[in-house]
A and B are shown apart, each in its own frame.
Chain A
Amino acid sequence: EPEVTQTPSHQVTQMGQEVILRCVPISNHLYFYWYRQILGQKVEFLVSFYNNEISEKSEIFDDQFSVERPDGSNFTLKIRSTKLEDSAMYFCASSESAEGKTQYFGPGTRLLVL
């Protein structure tokens, strides 16, 4: 069964450093998402991406964040200058289409900012 994959599974970084989180969505999917979950809190939407551009972003997704689809398979989330409060689990998701279609989540990257 096809699945969303993410790398790395864990990332530890110093405050102020840049991190890039990588995702490989399911191959025939067209819509891509990043969510995050701070420990003990709910899963929160960050950004959606379709047709090589951001479709929607949340208030969390400020200028420190960017997304890219550098080739036909990878979908990346970059945090330019990490803050302590960026420590969270980051989930990538993809769906075949937007209209109520199921989003499939990757296993997540656990980011710890020290």
Chain B
Amino acid sequence: RKEVEQDPGPFNVPEGATVAFNCTYSNSASQSFFWYRQDCRKEPKLLMSVYSSGNEDGRFTAQLNRASQYISLLIRDSKLSDSATYLCAVNDRGRDDKIIFGKGTRLHILP
């Protein structure tokens, strides 16, 4: 089983719509979870950390289900500028918490 799995997409969504991404991870010992955003040929940029209680940052909501080893990201009222690849990431509980990334889900917001 792959360590972090995501639907690669692409998701083609009209501007203003709500879109949801899911991610599953295999290491039940993982303690920290993240969503990163990556624009074409750019570095991953942290979008938000994901907490057990779920968390919201403006139009973005992240949820974690430890029992199912499942993470989600919801984007409401999508903007053209939300077009990017969204990377699910979990820490690997080695000595220095390296990050294991999913391959990413591509999102295209259509005008």
- Residues of A at the B interface (CB closer than 8 Å) are 31, 33, 35, 41-45, 48, 50, 55-56, 58, 89, 91, 93, 95, 98-108, 110
* Contact residues in B for A58 (Cβ distance below 8 Å): 98
Question: In the docked arrangement, what's the CA distance between A50 and B100, Å?
Answer: 19
**Chain A, residue nearest B91 (CB):** A100
Add 5 more A-B contacts to A43-B99, A48-B95, A89-B41 (CB < 8 A): A33-B99, A44-B101, A48-B98, A56-B94, A98-B95
- Residues of B at the A interface (CB closer than 8 Å) are 31-32, 34, 38, 41-46, 49, 87, 91-92, 94-104
Main SS at interface, chain A = strand
Contact of B42 among A33, A35, A48, A107 (CB under 8 A): A107
* B95:A107 contact, CB within 8 angstroms: no
Whole-angstrom distance between the Cβ of A28 and the nearest chain B Cβ:
17
* B101:A42 contact, CB within 8 angstroms: yes
Contact of A56 among B42, B46, B95, B104 (CB under 8 A): B95
Question: In the docked arrangement, what's the CA distance between A75 and B32, Å?
Answer: 25
Given A42-B102, A55-B96, the answer on whether A106 and B43 have CB atoms closer than 8 Å is yes
